[in-house]
A and B are shown apart, each in its own frame.
Chain A
Amino acid sequence: MKELRPPAVRELLSHLERLPGVGPRSAQRLVEHLLTCPPDEPARLGEALISLRARVRLCSTCFLLTEEDPCPVCSDPGRDPSIILVVESPTTAWSVEATGEYSGLYHALLGHLSPLHGVGPEDLKIDELLRRVQGGGVREVILATNPTVEGETTALYIARRLEPLGLDISRPASGIPVGGEVGAVDQVTLAQALQLRRRV
């Protein structure tokens, strides 16, 4: 048996196959496409990949992905600074924003509690959230962690840490399937879940 794949192809395949959701078959299809499409397309893809890490960072206040710090949400005087919506991942905030129903601020935890994986409160942006709230002007915190065992426990833990501060703490209403992700439901359901949030 002869190795028919040129070294450059093998190299790219090995990188693509490491990406989530990409198996050997789809990696081959991507390579085939990149070799047959107009030549400027892979060039622009390469530039986009390089500038992604160079330009994008986390907002130092809310930990959403941004190119300017503070991010466009944190620096927008039109947003309601008295409400903070807490999500596990910055991409969940994109889905919430897409509903057009939310005008407060965000806070991304960058994960959830999981002793099994050695992730504790100090590995998440929980202290940062507490400091934001203690800074004053916050009236409500919406804990929109995912409805998984870990997401719910993280919400419970944060709710207890926030409790002494005497503000409204709520969870989005059900409608998001148990075990699913907040960002994975359609916009109407998500908007309803936010409107019908329950106090905890």
Chain B
Amino acid sequence: MILHHMATWNFRNLAPGKVELGSGLNVIFGANGQGKTNLLEAIAVLGSLRSFRSHRYRPLLRHGERCLRLEGMLGSDSGPVALEVSWEVGPPPRRQLRLNGDSVHVSRYLQVFPVVVLAPGDRELVVGKPQGRRAYLDRLAFLLSRRHLDHLQRYRKLLDQRNAGLVRGVGGHEMAAWESQLAESAARIVLARRRVLERLEPRFQRIYHAIGGEGFPELRLEYQAEASLPPGDVEEALAEIYRKRYNDQRDRDRETGYTTAGPHRHDLMIRGTTGHVRDYLSAGQVKAVAAGLRLSFLEEVEEDRGEVLPLGIDDVDAEIDRAVTQRVLSLAAKGRQLVVTSTRAELGAWKDGSFRRHMVRDGSIQHVVGREESV
């Protein structure tokens, strides 16, 4: 899968227009603050509808403008696809998604371009709040099975209804009906996440060890649910456990108006031999774990789709642990289209296929033709 070009209008400080991308390595270089990460961010939003720098759309909009638009042309084994995202500030804010010109639902759109970007903010995935790691697992589960998104939305609705019921003092019989449905939904999500993690774990181990060097600790990825939740993969058995738990905890939950058990509280634990790794990993080790999580995610989706996918790397020549970065880069290549940002035009020893450079200055992006064009 290749992104042939990326076009933006009113996206941060980028000059409106189209950037052609090569099928091999694409280096977006420029001094800090010129906007080199913005192009990579636009690619991430085009594919995942999420930025790796902001949870909201508003900051993506060029100052003083009211709507932004992104367009990309994707080439994949199943044919070319034109993607388009437009967003209006509103109120109310309005987002429109198109595939080959046809307006589509978000769950259909998000299946098409499963972009992965390695970015400095990834350390949050390792050391930050559980929410980010749940989102990571859920996105992978969704890319492997589209229905996961419906299941998550259903769970969210049921959870909101139970919480409202707790607050309003809804009677026991009605609460039991909501809890029964919520329990089924919870069980389905826990099982989907466990299955995804089970597939991911060996891949993560291999990649993490390939990136890591001397003194990198042994790690395990673990799905952390309620302490007493048994293993097993029978949905109805798990649902029954949650039904009982919601029932038992109802009176206590009424005091806070909040449901204390269920997948909205779970975590993807990155466990070392002595507890959660966030407490003792070095900056370079955190970076290796984050890259391991991103690259194993990418490989998992690639295996499912039967083709390699584009990969973005922001700030590829960051000062933190350059050795780790070099190993990440060599693992990342493997015939993939790479889009990387860098403060330097040269990336050292790149011998792998075609090479295209773009210089970014004050939001305009210029293709730089040089002898490296094709190696």
Q: Spell out A's residues near B (CB within 8 Å).
A: 113-116, 118, 120-121, 149-150, 152-154, 156-157, 160-161, 178
Question: Can you list 19 contacts pairing A with B, beta carbon distance less than 8 Å?
Answer: A113-B174, A113-B177, A115-B161, A115-B164, A115-B167, A115-B168, A115-B174, A116-B164, A118-B168, A121-B171, A121-B173, A149-B154, A149-B181, A150-B161, A152-B181, A153-B158, A153-B178, A156-B177, A157-B173
Please state if B173 and A116 are interface contacts (CB–CB under 8 Å): no
Please state if B174 and A114 are interface contacts (CB–CB under 8 Å): no
How distant is B107 from chain A, measured CB to nearest CB, in Å? 12
CA distance A118 to B154 in the complex (A): 19
Contacts of B176 in A (CB 8 A): 160
Please state if A115 and B180 are interface contacts (CB–CB under 8 Å): no
Contacts of A161 in B (CB 8 A): 173
How distant is B134 from chain A, measured CB to nearest CB, in Å? 21
Q: Spell out B's residues near A (CB within 8 Å).
A: 150, 154, 157-158, 160-162, 164-165, 167-168, 170-171, 173-174, 176-178, 180-181
Contacts of A160 in B (CB 8 A): 173, 176-177
Contacts of A150 in B (CB 8 A): 161
Contacts of B173 in A (CB 8 A): 121, 157, 160-161
How distant is B231 from chain A, measured CB to nearest CB, in Å? 28
Closest chain A residue to B162, Cβ basis? A115
Nearest 8 A-B pairs (CB), nearest first?
A: A115-B164, A115-B165, A157-B177, A116-B164, A149-B157, A156-B177, A153-B177, A115-B170
Contacts of A152 in B (CB 8 A): 181
Contacts of B157 in A (CB 8 A): 149
CA distance A178 to B180 in the complex (A): 18
Closest chain B residue to A113, Cβ basis? B174
Across the interface, B160 reaches (CB within 8 A) one of A116, A120, A153, A157, namely A116
